Structure 1
Amino acid sequence: MISRRNIRVKVMQTLYTIDTLEQEVKPGEPVKLLQKHFDESRSLLIYMIEFLNQVLSYAETDAHHRASKHLPTAQDLNVNTKIAGNELLWRIKEDTSFTAARDSEKLVHRIDKDLVRRIYVQLTESAEYKAYIASPERKKDEERAIVHFVWEQLILPNEAFLGHIEELYMNWDDDGEMAIQLFQMYLAKPGTFDFRTLISADKWSFAKGLLQAVLEKAEHLETFIHPRLQNWDAERIAVLDMILMKMGVAEFLYFDTIPPKVTINEYIDLAKEYSTAQSGQFVNGILDNIHKELVQTGKLQKTDFRKA
């Protein structure tokens, strides 16, 4: 579910955190920091699902509030709660993996109730909602369509929601796109995710292995980079650029299932997105030269970094 690009970002963030720490990192701490980054991604996804859950379920809350008025009107006593019984919504509510993860995160206490109410009111005023509740039947396509309408048209583009989630989750800028993709996958098949292991065993092995390779072989990786810096002072190169280049060289040397061209392209993109305006071209030049020399000298013989 989580792509290798997302994994590289998490490893990069972990290495940057370690580089900026004043004290020496204890054994085992780097992997714990990496796990924390993945936990933050997991929490973000769970929160998005719960927010949708709260909006769709608000029909019952609204009906209760209105019926509890001192002098309720006939309209107050006849609020349509069809959407609260939406079939897709109930598949989410009955997903024990999701509910257990949500409860462990204590996310209910972080929900902006007023924002939920405002989005629900906006929903009730929409033509899509009025058409949905006009039919007493529950058709599968219509049940899904109204849920997707709420998410895609009322929540995700909502500036108040985006401001709210950015305030709660500092990783939104890095993880937002991935979380949205995972969210859409989840809506397609609620109940199929194991929220305890959002990252598969093989991808976790890649993430942990890449992190440990860069840390344990840092000096060796730098011997490939420093000779190509020419007029550049290694101490003045952007920290992220050096981290990305070491990650790239580590992939050249120790990860035999990843084509070198894929590695180069991935780190060019990451350098452009996370470092300076010139970083993409700079990282491209260094990694491309290292790759060519490894090929020409027959040294592109990938091996386990622990045995190297």
Structure 2
Amino acid sequence: MISRRNIRVKVMQTLYALETMEQSNIKPGTATRLLNEKLDQTCQIFTYLLYSVVQVAQYAEIDAQARASKHLPSAADLQVNTKIAGNEFIYQIKSDKGFQVNLEQWKMRPLADNDLVRKLYNMLTATEVYKTYIADESRSKSGEKELLEFIYKEILAKNELFLQHMEDAFLHWNDDEEMMAILVGNYFNKPHLFNFLQLISKEKLDYARELLLTVIDKKEYCLELITPKLQNWDPERIAAVDMLLMEMGVCEFLYFPTIPTKVTINEYIDLAKAYSTPQSGQFINGILDNILKDLEKEALIQKQERPKK
């Protein structure tokens, strides 16, 4: 569910944070604790986004009750359609015990902004998509799913107030935003495959921790391979993120036999473009490619196919 690209970003951020600490020796426990915190936040963001969709959908009942309670309610006030509140996907999310555990454990409910939820709901009810939905008295599974996808993609993900809310609530929201669109879509397609108590698979969790600890452990050796390739570059002008990405790339070459070298290079080029300078992608491509050629000449690259499940 959580992509390897996102895993690499969290490892990079953890390594960067560790380098800012004034400690000569970083204990593995400290490193993995920081990594786990960053991975947890990815899971928190996913949980909160689904909670936000639920909040917007269920506001129909709050709106109906408030309007019916007016001193002199109009006919429209007494006929607010609450069909969306009974959406089967909303029920499935709410009834998931893992989802409820996450809400409590991470204290998600207090993060909600009720005024923002009201505004988002009002935006939704003004759309033709919503009007078509409530006009249809049937409850087709595809129709129920499509409306919730619409709430996320067109109401939440495109609303500046909501995006600012996410940025204020979650430090690394911008790193996860793109992946969340995929995750939320995957959830509505196959909700039964999601375990809220283990949103990151054991395989990817092991990969994250192994990559982090390997880069820390093999840092000196990686620098021995990287430094000679920097002869035409001023080391002080090389971005710290670039150095970390190259160290991660070299470790994947040498110590992660199931990850193809081409995949490694492409992934770190993309990360460099996204998180470092405009020239970093080309720079890292050249350095990693040169190191890879040397390692292949010395027969130090041993790759194998990833086992099929």
Which bracket does the TM-score occupy, shorter chain normalised? over 0.9
Is the Cα–Cα contact under 8 Å of residues 265 and 285 in structure 2 kept in the other structure? yes
TM-score (norm 2): 0.92
Displacement over 4 Å in runs of 4+? none
264-273 vs 62-71, which moves further: 62-71
Letter in 1 for 2:177: G
Q: Which amino acid aligns with 2:75?
A: A
Q: Does 1:174 align with 2:175?
A: yes
Q: 1-side partners of 2:158 and 2:266: how far apart? A: 31
- Aligned residue runs from structure 1 range 1-308, under 5 A: 1-24=1-24, 25-301=26-302
Deviation of 1:301 (Å): 4.0
CA contact (8 A) 2:28 2:213 kept: no
- Matching residue's letter, 1:208: R
Q: Kindly indicate whether the alpha-carbon contact (under 8 Å) linking 1:272 and 1:278 is maintained by their aligned counterparts in 2.
A: yes
Q: Give 1:4's aligned amino acid.
A: R
TM-superposed CA distance for 1:117, in Å, is 0.7
CA distance in 1, matches of 2:127, 2:207: 46
Amino acid of the structure 1 residue aligned with 2:10: K
Map Cα deviations across residues 124-173 of structure 1 (whole Å, 9 max, x no partner): 22222222222333222222222222222222111221121122122121
Q: In the TM superposition, what is the alpha-carbon distance from 1:302 to its structure 2 partner?
A: 6.6
Unmatched runs of 5 consecutive residues or more in structure 1: 304-308
Contact kept? 2:269, 2:285, Cα under 8 Å: yes
- Which segment drifts farther, 263-272 or 139-148? 139-148
Aligned-residue CA RMSD (Å): 1.8
90-99 or 6-15: which moved more?
90-99
**Farther off after superposition, 89-98 or 128-137:** 128-137
Could you state the TM-score of these two structures normalised by the residue count of structure 1?
A: 0.93
Query: Sequence identity of aligned pairs in percent?
Result: 52
Secondary structure of the corresponding residue to residue 136 of structure 1: coil
CA shift, 1:27, in A, is: 4.0
Aligned 8 A contact 2:48 2:108 in 1? yes
Unaligned runs of at least 5 residues, structure 2: 305-309
The 2-side partners of 1:249 and 1:131 are apart by 54
Corresponding position of 1:306: none
- Contact 1:91 1:191 (C-alpha < 8 Å) held by counterparts: no
Q: Deviations over 1:206-247 (max 9, x none)?
A: 111111111011111111011111133434421111111111
| Structure-1 separation of matches of 2:150 and 2:208 | 36
